């Protein structure tokens, strides 16, 4: 199953995480009040009652779940897309964690930006905060996005390097094996990768590292199939 807008509107994503923490999985999650405070602190850096841009680099591209009035492609500098956060619920389990994309320091990243109308900002950004910020694995940062002709300020969700689930300098073989084999309540980690690559390609964005990673993951899955059948 995929995450839905109704899940976020009902707070089901938060409930699912909290239930997991009570069932023996150690997770630190933000309350609704903490999410609201975090959101307001971020919005204080922009004029009140203004449209807000969101920079998407992973599942927000192919499953945005938000109401927006404009969508463009753009590039940011100083951050790159990387599978850098361990995921023990949505696309993985405690026994076989998956990996989640984040923005890590250095390089550049092409993605999609969404413009949310000022009137929709309170509701739509709260849904995004429930989705991206609840577990503390991301930090909300304002970034400059270039679309080739214009520059925008947008909110991006970057990897929290201080979080226990931050995956720092893991071997490529570990990354490939995790993505090829991990699966959770929101589907497989491999499907998350494939959908991200397809979403980027649909926007005319060719991420060479992700394309190579997709090839390696598919090869690993094929090897596992052959091994299990022998």
* Catalytic annotation present for 132: yes
What is the secondary structure of the chain as a DSSP string?
----HHHHHHTHHHHHHHHHHHTT-------HHHHHHHHHHHHTTS-TT--EEEEE-SHHHH---S--SEEEEEEEEEEEEEEEEEESSTT--SSS-EEEEEEEEEEEEEEEEEEEPGGGHHHHHHHHHHHHTTTSSEEEEEEEEE-SS-EEEEEEEEE-TTSTTB--S--HHHHHHHHHH-EETTEEHHHHHHHHHHHHHHTT---HHHHHHHHHHHHHHHHHHHHHH-
Calpha distance 126→4 (Å, rounded): 14
Calpha distance 45→50 (Å, rounded): 11
Separation in Å, CA 178 to CA 26, 76, 79, 194, 199: 20, 28, 23, 14, 21
Q: Which of 70, 124, 132, 203 is catalytic?
A: 132
What residues act catalytically?
132
């Amino acid at each position: 199953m995929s995450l839905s807008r109704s899940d976020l509107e009902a707070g089901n994503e938060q409930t699912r995480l909290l239930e997991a923490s009570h069932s023996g999985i150690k997770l630190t999650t933000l309350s609704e009040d903490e999410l609201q405070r975090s959101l307001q602190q971020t919005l204080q850096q922009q004029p009140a009652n203004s449209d807000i841009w969101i920079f998407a680099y992973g599942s927000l591209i192919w499953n945005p779940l938000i109401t927006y009035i404009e969508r463009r492609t753009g590039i940011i500098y100083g951050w790159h897309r990387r599978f850098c956060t361990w995921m023990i619920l949505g696309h993985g389990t405690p026994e076989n964690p998956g990996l989640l994309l984040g923005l890590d320091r250095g390089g550049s990243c092409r993605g999609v930006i969404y413009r949310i109308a000022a009137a929709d900002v309170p509701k739509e950004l709260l849904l995004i905060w429930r989705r991206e910020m609840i577990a503390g694995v991301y930090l909300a940062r304002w970034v400059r996005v270039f679309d080739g002709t214009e520059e925008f300020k947008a909110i991006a969700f970057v990897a929290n390097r201080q979080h226990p689930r931050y995956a720092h300098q893991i071997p490529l073989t570990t990354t490939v094996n995790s993505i090829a084999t991990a699966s959770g309540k929101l589907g497989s980690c491999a499907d998350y990768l494939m959908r991200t690559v397809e979403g980027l390609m649909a926007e005319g964005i060719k991420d060479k590292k992700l394309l190579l990673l997709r090839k390696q993951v598919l090869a690993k899955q094929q090897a596992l199939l052959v091994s299990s059948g022998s």
